[in-house]
Structure 1
Amino acid sequence: MKPYLERVPPSPDASWSMLNRRLDDGIPFQWHHHPELELTLTLNSRGHRFIGDHVGTFDGIDLVLVGSNLPHTWSSSEKLDPTLPHVALVVWFRQEWIEAITKSSVELGAVAALVAGAGTGLRFSKASAIALADDFERLFELPAPERLLAMLAILNRLAYDAEAEPLSSEALVPMERDAGAERIDRVLTHIHQSYAREIRLEELAGIAALSVSGTHRLFRRHMRATISDYIIRLRIGDACARLSGTNQPIQHIASAIGYGSFANFNRHFRRLRGMSPRDYRAKFRS
């Protein structure tokens, strides 16, 4: 369940991208990340949502904003209406792009605050999802200039959703983009591809083209976490997905996500989830 770096296809007539995804067989589990923020409206589908180290359920309609480079996926279990497809309406946009727009427009201050707080991922209320569903569908029918204005209007309305709920742990979230952005992207990509095995600090330093201490400082500046804590949270997030979505034995899960010591796995899981892996599986399924 290693997340892969997804390359979002650019739009020929817009500065952001979108996808109208309709699937008969369900939304597949595809654990991935990308530099773009992602706003996804899911319709006519029931299943599980995985955002960073968050695991939750969705039922019928789900509206979520995913932060930059935050690993995520949805996974369907069934349709609500079997005669219609599973639907995922997806919008991607770069943080630098939306920040440039909001910084030059005081009217969009609420949108700026929304984007600034989206790094952990945000699940919006069902009421907001229902109210905006038709507007979201219409995005795919509008010409590019009107589409931009309609998308900004959607973001502005979401910015006032008082029931919006943060999802993942703050420690998983890139906090800034600066001259070291390309270095941290390379390091994150390697960690996301390799966290289920031992990753040596010298290995990451070589990828960042920095010293070990310089790589530590780069990581803490961008991620507000140590490298080891970031890897632990990725591993426990993977464990949560496996505990909730598979029947794999718990010891097998611990080994598969990189724990040679079952005791360490239990200790880290309790620290981050407040319960044992066995209790988590039982509570989630109940």
Structure 2
Amino acid sequence: MKAVRKAAYEHVDFGEHCSVRVYHRRLPRIPFEWHHHPEYELTLTMNSQGKRFIGDSVAAYGGDDLVLVPPNLPHTWSSNRSIDSSAAQVAIVVWFDGAWVRRLADVCPEYGGLCNLLRRAACGLAFGHDAGMHLRGELDRLLSADPRERLKAVLDVLDWLSEAPGTPLASPSAFDAHTGTPSGHQPDQLNRVLALIDTQFAHPLRLATLAKASGLSGRSLTRHFTQHLGESVGRYITRVRIGHACRLLTGTGLPISVIAARSGFANVANFNRQFKAAKALTPAAYRQQFTGTRQAEDESVPPLTERSPSLRGKRVSGTSRRGSAGRRRG
């Protein structure tokens, strides 16, 4: 079994005195570019269809696909064909720094909703078709020659998305030791529980044990999870375990029974059932889908470590524009 390469690090060049960067990418197809970076990334993909890989989430995409990716979560899109074969595939990418957004929200309460948007996007967030259409309607402003107009457009888009429904994508454990942990600010008591789950997920975890570690009652801990993570304790633990299993499925050739045990599942049958409920695929099918795409790309696309105009901050084939606006350093 061929393991997936480690995600390449992308250096996003904002330019001097910049707050955001807007990137306009046009190309005949979107290759598999498994990478990560410390910035948030909002990407609208148009006239393209294929597979979207966000951490351990693998999903088909098409039309006006709009996704917000948090810092340091490996991701890529990989198209198999254009919707309109006579036109180029287009990706509108907006990069911005999370600390900058939080400082802005501190100074301007009108943008307080942006912090909630970042928290919701801790594991990646896919928006519906209406959101993609909304962003498409802002393209003239986003690609304006005036950097202030671009900045205003980005803030308007993010503010609008802060109230738009979205679907979480990756499992919490899709972040590894090299690329950080899911972003967002939870209370210290909750952080202690998250750290315990992240290190002990392969063992039985009881609510009473987690509550004791947090210094909270079981009821209070449950309320904290719902408030800050949007799901129950049990659901979070399952997502961590499934995420770990996904990494073993795509990065190793271990038997599925071994992966089930190492991921905290008591038996293979339960693992298969929970995995399929979470990913709509059996573990074996997930492994084939993810690694199959990587192997197919290897035949026609140079390795990430040897190429990437986009990952080196240089111009790619096709048309690109860089957007920037005054960023406050500090």
Tell me the TM-score normalised to structure 2 length. 0.60
In structure 1, the residue matched to 2:168 is: 166
Counting helix residues as a fraction of each chain, which structure ranks higher?
A: 1
Matched, 1:134 2:137: yes
Question: Structure 1 residues 57, 89: CA separation in 2 closer, same or farther (over 3 Å shift)?
Answer: same
- Among 252, 259, 270, the alignment partner of 1:258 is 252
Identity of aligned residues (%): 35
* RMSD across aligned positions (CA): 3.3
What is the one-letter code of the residue matched to 1:18?
A: V
Q: Secondary structure at the match of 2:87?
A: coil
List aligned pairs for 1:176-215, cutoff 5 A. 187-189=177-179
- Among 89, 97, 100, the alignment partner of 1:86 is 89
Q: CA deviation at 1:107?
A: 0.6
Residues 1-30 of structure 1, C-alpha deviations (whole Å, 9 max, x = no match): 221111112223522222111011x11111
Residues 96-118 of structure 1, C-alpha deviations (whole Å, 9 max, x = no match): 11111112111112122111221
Distance across 2 between alignment mates of 1:279 and 1:259: 14
In structure 1, the residue matched to 2:246 is: 236
Q: CA deviation at 1:135?
A: 0.5
Matched, 1:7 2:11: yes
Residues 46 and 65 of structure 2 are in contact (CA less than 8 Å); yes or no, is this contact kept in structure 1?
yes
Distance across 2 between alignment mates of 1:65 and 1:4: 19
Distance across 1 between alignment mates of 2:92 and 2:75: 15
Q: Secondary structure at the match of 1:60?
A: coil
Q: Secondary structure at the match of 1:50?
A: strand
Q: CA deviation at 1:90?
A: 0.5
Distance across 2 between alignment mates of 1:135 and 1:56: 26
In structure 2, the residue matched to 1:181 is: none
Distance across 2 between alignment mates of 1:22 and 1:238: 34
Matched, 1:21 2:31: no
Considering only CA atoms, is the larger Rg found in Structure 1 or Structure 2?
2
In structure 2, the residue matched to 1:153 is: 156
Q: Secondary structure at the match of 1:263?
A: helix
Distance across 2 between alignment mates of 1:132 and 1:276: 35
Distance across 2 between alignment mates of 1:224 and 1:108: 33
Question: Structure 1 residues 41, 237: CA separation in 2 closer, same or farther (over 3 Å shift)?
Answer: farther
- Among 279, 282, 288, the alignment partner of 1:276 is 282
Distance across 1 between alignment mates of 2:63 and 2:129: 10
In structure 2, the residue matched to 1:56 is: 59
Question: Structure 1 residues 235, 142: CA separation in 2 closer, same or farther (over 3 Å shift)?
Answer: farther
Tell me the TM-score normalised to structure 1 length. 0.69
Task: Tell me the matched-pair count.
Answer: 228
Q: CA deviation at 1:94?
A: 1.2
Q: Which has the higher contact order (CA 8 A, sep 6+)?
A: 2
Distance across 1 between alignment mates of 2:201 and 2:253: 13
- Unmatched tracts of structure 1, length 5 or more: 174-183, 191-216, 240-252
